[in-house]
Each structure stands twice: as C-alpha cells, then as structure tokens.
C-alpha cells in the first residue's frame, strides 16, 4: 500500500483535546492548523498551533459542527489531513465523506464503519451477527411511542431507554417502573433530537450495579488489529464518566482475554481502521455484554497510554498515512496502573450546575508520574457555549494504591480560581475507602452518598482563611502604633458565601505569639470557635493550622470599593467569599413567583402555554447550556407568564417566567 505522509494537519476540535493533538503532531514535525469560533479566538489551542483559521460564530452549529466551514478551512489551508478529536464531528460519516471528496485524509475509520457503529440499533444487530454477547432488548425500526411502551412493558423493569445515535450519556434514561416510562421516552427522544439530530431510541435490559469496562482496539489498513487492554469507567454520574482507570481492577485473566477478543470481533465486523473503543457492561458473575462502539479516540485514552507506554495519537497518524501498527499483540504488555479524573466547570453543591467565569489563576505543578491535559490559562473565559470539561488529571503508579496516592497529591497541587469546579468532589471520590478497596460499579456514587456533595467543613475553613487574609492586609496597611491598637479587641466581620451571610469575630490579641481565635456564626448553625496558629502567607498561598491541623489555601484577592472579594481553593473546593455590610441587609434570592436562569444558556422549549395554571414543581421550560438540559420548575402554584421565547439566549439571573398565585391559593 502507498504511504502518504501527513505534513499539514488541521484539528477540527477545540479545548484540551486540540492541545493534546498539537503536542503529538509537533513532536512528529507536522505543521498544525487550529480552527476556532469567534468565542475561541484567544483559546489555548489557537495559541499553540502553527496556524489558525476562524470558522464562524460562537454557536457550535455554525462553527465546530459545520461540515461546510471545516472542509473550506481544510482546503484553504492546504491540509493533508484532519483530526476530529472527540465530540463534535468525530463520529460523523458525512464529514469523513466530505473530506474524502476533496482528497483530504480523515484520521478515523471509514464512513461506513462510522455510520454502522454510530447507530446503536444497527450496531447491536451487527454484534449479534458477529457473535458478540448483547443485552436483551429492542432495537427495531418501529419508533412509535405506544409501541415502545408496549415493548418495554413486555420486557419488564428495570430497563434503559437510549438514544440510537447518541453517546456521552445523552438521551439515556433508566426506568424502574411503568409509571416513569412515557415521560422517560419523551425526555430521551427530545434530548437525542436536540443533541444528535436523531430522536430514534432503543430499549435494553438494565443490569443492577454492573461495571462499565471498555477495550481499546486499533486496526491498520493492512489488516492488522490489536487490543490495548481494558479500562474501567464505572464511576459515573448521570451516565457520564467521572473516573477512569486501566487496567480494570478485579478482573481475572480469562475475562480480560475474552473481552479483548470480543472487541476485536466487533472491529472486524465492520472492517474497522484506526482507534476505536468497544464498551461492555460486566455483571457480578463476570458475564459481559456489548454496549456500544465509539469510532474515535476516547476522553480517557491517556490511562491506556500511561499503562502501555504508547502515544495513541501518533498511532492514529501512522495508520492514516498507511503505515502498519507500531506494535503486534504479543508486544503489548501493560505495566502498572493509571487513573484519570475529569475537571469540569460545575458546582457539585448545586446539582452539578455548569459554571462560567474568568480564570483568575491556573496552576498545576506536575509531580512525578502525573499528567494534566488542559486548555487553561490565567484570563481564560469559560463560557456557556461548549462542554464544561476543562482538563484531565492522570496519575500512574506501579500499583493501583500508588496511582491513587499520586492522583490525590496532584489534585492537591492543582489550582483553579475564578470559576466553579469539581476538584474537591473528584478528590472525595478517589480518597473514598470503597474506591481504594476496588469496590467500583456504576452505582458507586449513589451507594456511597456521593451523588450529592457538601462543602460544609471546607466552608468554615474558607471563612477562616478570608478572615486571616483580611486581618493581615489590615495590619499591613496601618502604621505600627495603629496596628497594635487594632488588635486590642475582637474584630467583627460579615461575609457572603453560597448566598448566605456569616458573621465572624477575629480575636488577634495573641497575635504577638503567633495565634488568633476566629468565631463563626450563621443562621444555619451554632457558633463555632477555632484556634488558629502557624500562619504563613505568600502572594498565592496561605498556610495555617486549625487546632494543630495544617491547611493550605490557594487564593486570589481583590477589592471593589469597600467590598473584599476572595477566590479560595481548599481541599480542591472553590469558594468565592465577599465581605458585606451587615447594616445593608443580606442578598435575597428571587421571590417564589419568579423563575430565573441559573446560568447563561438557550431556551430550548416552553412546555406550557402562557396563562396556564401550573402546580408547584411543574416543569415550565427547558434551558440548555454546556450540552446539558436543565428543567426550570415552578416554585409555587399559580398562573404562568413567560419573560422569554423559545430559542432565546439568556444570561444568568435573567427572569424567565413568573408564577402568580390566584386569590384562592393566597387565602
């Protein structure tokens, strides 16, 4: 076969995956071409690439999802090949076909393989024909609502309703009883149509606490195929992967081999070329069932790279050029253990609501045997236009125990200030005793109370840190004789954090011997007194002891008029703490009759008519932001009136609807 060298590579993606592809291409001496939307003109992947090309407005449908704009960019920049990364058009057969018509290499499988595996119904039929185990269910052409209800009822519960063209957990609903079924079908179909342009569904038997195990496969154009072990991706929230690791813990050699061979059967069934991932569910008895095949590089590919000592992007490029696979199956021996967590701009304490904001400080001090793939820099603006994943943190160890310890240490040495994130939540998962004891399954988070998240302990620590910073700034800005006078009595202060006002009183009369006392009071808890000592302050970090326990707070502090703003990170948890004037009253939320936007986003649909009577808890509209659909519900019963229209882009805090109680409801 003719070898066609790739000299100019266009990356049809953004964020951390675009930066990661650029890194490998540069090592191979390939010129990299970034594409970007108007919202991404200052993005890190644009800064890192050799060349860049604007492909349209911020909306993904007019830029990163526009086949016409991407093909035009590839032809104008004389690209030899296009790497699609993951997400966006990475599994779009029409995109691969469009590039082929212009003699541009698509770094991925054939359009036929993408189309087959991209349709879960067709893929399941192909797996049955190939002899790969599949879950019982329905994947037929009849998509009538009543027919799906009847078929699901006949199957029995629990079942999984899944988007036929989907991925990433979107368009997927677990149904445990018949009364949930109709709403689940409607909701899954709507989300699938909005996300993938295809509302077709399939039904599958749901397993109880299965493990999600996937196999990395690779095939070249010469007929060679290998599998690079398996990854465990069982730690999931809303069917979205949170923690991934390789190899999968607690699998015996027989099951590992059977999984790898089944994955190769799946790839061979569609003449697959390139990198792919075959995903399985594994039950408690070790039986496994085909779930889906992703015809692209996976988000979690770094753990496989770390365990096998390979560069999968370099492999992709070599295969696309027509070269044979760099290694044979016998050469692929895993070594050690690797774990990855996904850093998201989200608020775990508020149902993981996506967050926006400007990064005030990003720092990730790389420790031995760790890796951070990211898109961040000081001043970067996280918007609502794209997926909220910002980075991936990976650690390798000779043993799983060592990998866990290194990962926790790397999380503790990673700082992100200015935008809400989930680092503290991730730390709580990998530091959990059950995780360390390898008790992983898809129900892990809910079983161990990690489906919700509280920062109460760290909240007190954050308030103490803010008080210390304010005290030290106050002392620094005063002449020495006034500073001593300032310490003659406890200093009261009020702070706003998480929409609640906390009173504090700092008694620094023992400051000369390096101690002080902080009292914290709130409407939600009894007053607490904390003894603080061993305070050490730099421009970026505050170290102090609470009752002889050492704590490190990363911070960024600024002042607007008389208000002090402190961005803090403690134990991975981010806080924004603001000083407030107690005489001015506390900040208040919207009244019950008002429904406001929890973040910037687009109104996807209005679910009730103007002037309709609704009950408390009824869903009024769907807001979409960062690839997530958020139902906006009525807070009380009454007559609804809307302050927005379908398709409108709204800002965080904007009033979306008002529910006005009737006379009978107010009496």
Enter the tokens of residue 299: 């988000």
Beta strands 81-83 and 105-106: pairing type? Answer: parallel
**Spatial strand order in the sheet of 389-397:** 288-294, 274-282, 211-219, 225-237, 240-246, 337-344, 389-397, 370-374
CA distance 582 to 600: 30
Angle, in degrees to the nearest 10, between helices 111-118 and 120-130? 100
Exposure letters 396-410 (e unless 16+ CB within 10 A, then b): bbeebeebbbbbbeb
A 10 A CB-CB count for 173 gives 21
Token pair of 1 as six digits: 């076969």
Dist. CA 247–CA 288, nearest whole Å: 16
End-to-end CA distance of the chain: 83
Q: In this structure, what token pair is assigned to residue 613?
A: 């009577």
Closest CA to 123 of 259, 276, 272, 291: 291
Judge contact between 247 and 268, C-beta under 8 A.
Answer: no
Alpha-carbon span 322 to 81, nearest angstrom: 13
Residue in the structure block whose two tokens are 């882009």:
649
Burial of residue 591, with CB atoms counted within 10 A of its CB: 0-12 exposed, 13-18 middle, 19 or more buried: exposed
Residues 197 and 191: their CA atoms lie apart, in Å, by 9
Beta-carbon neighbour count of residue 228 at 10 Å? 25
Name the active-site residue from 296, 342, 400, 406.
296
Radius of gyration of the chain measured on its C-alpha atoms? 27
From residue 286, alpha-carbon distances to 132, 187, 213 in Å are 15, 32, 11
- Please tell me the total number of residues recorded for the chain in this structure: 667
Catalytic site includes residue 237: no
The region, left, alpha or beta by phi > 0 then psi within -120 to 50, assigned to residue 514 is left
CA distance 369 to 338: 9
Is residue 638 within 8 Å of 661, Cβ to Cβ? Answer: yes
Residues 607 and 622 sit within 8 Å (Cβ to Cβ): yes
Give me the half-sphere count of Cα atoms (radius 13 Å) on the Cβ side of residue 297. Answer: 24
3-state helix/strand/coil string of 263-277: HHHHHHCCCCCEEEE
Phi then psi dihedrals of residue 632, to 5 deg: -105, 120
Instruction: Using the structure block, give the residue that is written with the tokens 């954090």.
Output: 497
Query: Could you give the residue numbers annotated as active site?
Result: 296
């Amino acid at each position: 076969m003719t070898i066609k060298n790739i000299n100019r590579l266009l990356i049809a993606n953004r964020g951390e995956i675009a930066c990661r592809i650029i890194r490998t291409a540069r090592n191979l001496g390939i010129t990299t071409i970034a594409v970007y939307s108007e919202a991404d003109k200052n993005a890190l992947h644009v800064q890192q690439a050799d060349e860049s090309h604007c492909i349209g407005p911020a909306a993904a449908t007019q830029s990163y999802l526009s086949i016409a704009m991407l093909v035009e960019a590839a032809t104008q920049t004389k690209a030899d090949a296009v790497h699609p990364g993951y997400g966006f058009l990475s599994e779009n057969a029409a995109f691969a076909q469009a590039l082929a018509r212009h003699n541009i290499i698509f770094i991925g499988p054939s359009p036929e393989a993408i189309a087959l595996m991209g349709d879960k119904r067709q893929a399941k039929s192909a797996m049955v024909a190939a002899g790969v185990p599949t879950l019982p269910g329905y994947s037929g052409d009849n998509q009538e609502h009543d027919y799906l209800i009847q078929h699901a009822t006949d199957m029995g519960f629990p079942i999984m309703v899944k988007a036929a063209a989907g991925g990433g957990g979107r368009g997927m609903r677990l149904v445990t009883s018949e009364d949930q079924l109709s709403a689940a079908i409607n909701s899954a179909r709507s989300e699938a149509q909005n996300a993938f342009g295809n509302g077709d569904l399939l039904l599958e038997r749901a397993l109880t606490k299965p493990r999600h195990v996937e196999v990395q496969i690779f095939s070249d154009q010469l007929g060679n195929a290998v599998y690079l072990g398996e990854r465990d991706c069982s730690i999931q929230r809303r069917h979205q992967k949170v923690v991934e690791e390789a190899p999968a813990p607690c699998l015996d050699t027989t099951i590992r081999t059977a999984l790898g061979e089944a994955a190769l059967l799946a790839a061979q069934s569609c003449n697959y070329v390139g990198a792919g991932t075959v995903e399985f569910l594994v039950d408690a008895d070790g039986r496994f069932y085909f779930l889906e095949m992703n015809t692209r590089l996976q988000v979690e590919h770094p753990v496989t790279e770390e365990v096998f000592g390979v560069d999968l992007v370099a492999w992709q490029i070599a295969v696309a050029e027509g070269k044979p696979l760099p290694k044979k199956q016998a050469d692929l021996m895993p070594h050690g253990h690797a774990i990855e967590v996904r850093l998201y701009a989200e608020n775990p304490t508020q149902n993981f609501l996506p967050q926006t904001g400007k990064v005030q400080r990003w720092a990730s001090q790389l420790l031995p045997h760790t890796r951070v793939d990211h898109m961040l820099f000081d001043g970067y603006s996280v918007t609502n236009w794209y997926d909220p994943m910002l980075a991936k943190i990976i650690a390798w160890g000779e043993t799983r125990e060592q990998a866990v310890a290194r990962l926790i240490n790397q999380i503790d040495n990673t700082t992100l200030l200015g935008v809400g994130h989930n680092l503290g939540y991730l730390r709580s998962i990998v530091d959990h005793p059950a995780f360390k004891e390898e008790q992983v399954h898809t129900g892990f988070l809910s079983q161990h109370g990690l489906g919700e998240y509280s920062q109460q302990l760290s909240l007190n620590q954050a308030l103490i840190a803010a008080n210390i910073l304010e005290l030290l700034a106050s002392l620094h800005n005063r002449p020495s004789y006034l500073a001593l006078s300032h310490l003659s009595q406890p200093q009261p202060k009020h702070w706003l954090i998480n929409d609640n006002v906390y009173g504090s009183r700092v008694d620094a009369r023992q400051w000369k011997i390096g101690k002080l006392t902080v009292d914290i009071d709130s409407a939600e808890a009894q007053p607490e007194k904390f003894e603080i000592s061993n305070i050490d302050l730099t421009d970026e970090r505050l170290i102090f002891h609470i009752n002889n326990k050492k704590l490190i707070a990363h911070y960024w502090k600024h002042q607007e008029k008389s208000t002090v703003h402190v961005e803090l990170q403690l134990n991975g948890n981010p806080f924004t703490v603001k000083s407030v004037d107690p005489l001015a009253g506390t900040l208040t939320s919207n009244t019950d009759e008002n429904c406001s936007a929890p973040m910037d986003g687009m109104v996807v649909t209005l679910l009730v008519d103007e002037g309709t009577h609704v009950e408390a808890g009824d869903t009024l509209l769907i807001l979409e932001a960062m690839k997530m659909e958020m139902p906006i519900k009525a807070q009380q019963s009454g007559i609804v009136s809307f302050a927005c229209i379908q398709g409108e882009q709204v800002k965080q805090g904007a009033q979306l609807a008002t529910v006005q109680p009737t006379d009978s409801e107010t009496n």
